[in-house]
């Protein structure tokens, strides 16, 4: 189906790449998310072109351009022109054994894409080709994701202007079943802005979520992390809990927990706390897992008070098992484990107390713990705004302590045990250790004392007394 009522404002660098392919005797179209974004009124960061050229031809056509990357198995190259990145790929009918299978008709390439809005082909002269009615999915600046195959669109016509009309008939098959990772693509886009998911496709995602259990673990972990870092993650978690529990079954308990948790459901609280956390993988994973043990750790005392003893340890174990199953990086594992283990440490606006915490945690670790506390408390409707403000002031105080070079550990004292022995102010190492600890307490309370002559003079005066 050709639609000529609208033209797209393609950057000249991208148009030049398409013209180079055509001058070499090839056909080419702009396709994918860049077309949908332009139709929406957005500004794509990169552009995708499909072409009849094979891998060798593309390398020859672009021999004088900067080729950023190339993949012979997928018959694609990525070129850069004046800061704009253009991905060029041969028409692909299917992926078989990790390799793209060439097709001589772009329509077969479109049928193997994920969503109707991304299966629109555009040529500056020929106009649009929209076999899956993707253009109606783009309205009022919002792109609605409709999985190819979820609707009974099985016939379409192609008229390439310089070719005879071709009629194709294919059996409908959902792109979500063909490639379960398309479900994660939908959720990642939903978590961003300006995307919605069609109701039929949304129902299919919920029903097909168990297919993710058989997906490649490393790729699934990578894609799941990207979803977790999206801006509107709480909405994604609320709408598609089935996907999250398919990826980690332990989350199902939190989703089914019926008791109210801070005037909301437990899953709602977890979802909100994840979104309120800064988009850092370790913090968001800590927010996802640190409360999952509440259903199994719930208990009441003789007065009817509810407690969740051990839920943090339960969360640590759940996170550790998750990361092991999905082969996550060791740093992400250890950082998340630390955050869950220490998520309930006492944090106050007392400068001395903050400096004591710096003896146990690094500057960055303590900042993350405070940010985690802010996210967790912000998700509680009963929390007082003054508490959140206190945490934010503590963050500023923490940075100030580091920037000013204040002493917060014994190792930063201006004098050492040997200095006391050398100046004959103590009789032995045991006394030296006791004096150093006393000086450390004094310096914590008054940082200006951490000067060697002042500290030595303090010890001399103490000895004279």
What pLDDT does residue 3 have? 46
Asked whether 327 and 225 are in contact (CB, 8 A), the reply is no
273 CB contacts (<8 Å, ≥6 apart)? 287, 291, 375, 376, 378, 379
pLDDT band, very low/low/confident/very high, at 465 (cuts 50, 70, 90): low
Residue 155 has pLDDT above 70, yes or no: no
Determine the topology of domain 2-173 in CATH: Beta Polymerase; domain 2 (3.30.460)
pLDDT band, very low/low/confident/very high, at 420 (cuts 50, 70, 90): very high
What pLDDT does residue 6 have? 72
How much of the chain, in percent, has pLDDT values that exceed 70?
94
- Alpha helix ranges (H) inside 83-198: 106-111, 175-178, 181-191
Average pLDDT across the chain, whole number: 91
Residue 82 has pLDDT above 70, yes or no: yes
What pLDDT does residue 35 have? 96
Backbone angles phi, psi at 427, to 5 degrees: -95, -25
pLDDT band, very low/low/confident/very high, at 421 (cuts 50, 70, 90): very high
What pLDDT does residue 98 have? 84
What pLDDT does residue 171 have? 62
- In degrees to the nearest 10, what's the CA dihedral of 160, 166, 169, 170? -50
pLDDT band, very low/low/confident/very high, at 301 (cuts 50, 70, 90): confident
Q: What is the pLDDT of residues 226-253, one digit of tens each?
A: 999 999 999 999 999 999 999 999 999 9
Residue 463 has pLDDT above 70, yes or no: yes
Which range has the worst mean pLDDT, 135-149, 163-177, 258-272, 411-425? Answer: 163-177
Structure token pair of residue 320: 């550790």
- In degrees to the nearest 10, what's the CA dihedral of 328, 333, 335, 339? 120
Q: What is the pLDDT of residues 370-409, one digit of tens each?
A: 999 999 999 987 777 889 999 999 999 999 999 999 999 9
pLDDT band, very low/low/confident/very high, at 167 (cuts 50, 70, 90): low
The predicted model scores a pTM of 0.88
Structure token pair of residue 387: 């508490």
Which range has the worst mean pLDDT, 26-40, 157-171, 229-243, 310-324? Answer: 157-171
Distances from the Cα of 402 to the Cα of 361, 366, 406, 414, angstroms: 13, 12, 7, 16
Question: Ramachandran region of residue 192, left (φ > 0), alpha (ψ -120 to 50) or beta?
Answer: beta
What pLDDT does residue 331 have? 96
Q: What is the pLDDT of residues 84-134, one digit of tens each?
A: 999 999 999 888 888 988 988 888 899 889 999 999 999 999 899 888 889
Highest mean pLDDT among 93-107, 306-320, 345-359, 376-390: 345-359
Asked whether 284 and 327 are in contact (CB, 8 A), the reply is no
pLDDT band, very low/low/confident/very high, at 1 (cuts 50, 70, 90): very low
């Amino acid at each position: 189906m050709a639609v000529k009522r609208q033209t797209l404002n393609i950057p000249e660098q991208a148009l030049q790449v398409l013209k180079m392919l055509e001058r070499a005797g090839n056909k080419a179209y702009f396709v994918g998310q860049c077309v949908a974004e332009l139709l929406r009124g957005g500004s794509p960061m990169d552009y995708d072109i499909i072409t009849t050229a094979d891998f060798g031809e593309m390398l020859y056509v672009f021999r004088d351009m900067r080729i950023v990357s190339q993949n012979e198995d997928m018959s694609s190259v990525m070129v850069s022109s004046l800061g704009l990145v253009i991905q060029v790929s041969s028409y692909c009918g299917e992926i078989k054994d990790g390799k793209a299978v060439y097709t001589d008709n772009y329509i077969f390439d479109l049928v193997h894409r994920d969503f109707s809005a991304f299966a629109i082909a555009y040529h500056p002269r020929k106009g649009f080709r929209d076999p899956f009615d993707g253009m109606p999915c783009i309205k009022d600046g919002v792109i609605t994701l409709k999985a190819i195959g979820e609707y009974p669109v099985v016939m379409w016509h192609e008229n390439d202007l310089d070719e005879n009309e071709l009629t194709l008939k294919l059996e409908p098959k959902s792109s979500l079943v063909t490639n379960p990772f398309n479900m994660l693509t939908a959720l990642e886009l939903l978590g961003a802005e300006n995307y919605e998911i069609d109701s039929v496709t949304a129902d299919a995602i919920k029903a097909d979520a168990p297919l993710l259990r058989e997906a490649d673990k490393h790729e699934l972990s990578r894609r799941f992390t990207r979803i977790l870092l999206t801006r509107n993650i709480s909405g994604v978690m609320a709408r598609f809990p089935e996907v999250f529990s398919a990826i980690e079954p332990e989350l199902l308990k939190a989703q089914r927990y019926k008791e109210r948790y801070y005037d909301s459901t437990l899953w709602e609280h977890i979802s909100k706390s994840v979104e309120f956390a800064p988009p850092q993988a370790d913090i968001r994973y800590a927010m996802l897992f640190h409360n999952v043990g509440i259903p199994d750790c719930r208990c009441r005392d003789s007065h009817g008070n509810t407690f969740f003893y051990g839920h943090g340890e339960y969360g640590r174990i759940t996170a550790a098992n998750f990361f092991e199953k999905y082969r996550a990086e060791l740093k992400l594992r250890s950082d998340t484990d630390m955050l869950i283990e220490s998520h309930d440490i006492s944090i106050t606006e007392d400068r001395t107390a903050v400096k004591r915490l710096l003896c146990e945690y690094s500057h960055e670790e303590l900042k993350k713990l405070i940010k985690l506390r802010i996210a967790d408390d912000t998700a509680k409707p009963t929390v007082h705004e003054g508490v959140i403000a206190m945490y934010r002031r503590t963050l500023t105080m923490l940075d100030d302590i580091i920037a000013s070079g204040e002493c917060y550990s014994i190792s930063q004292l201006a004098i050492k045990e040997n200095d006391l022995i050398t100046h004959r102010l103590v009789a032995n190492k045991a006394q030296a250790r006791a004096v150093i600890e006393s000086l450390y307490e004094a310096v914590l309370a008054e940082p200006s004392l951490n000067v060697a002559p002042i500290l030595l003079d303090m010890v001399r005066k103490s000895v004279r007394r």
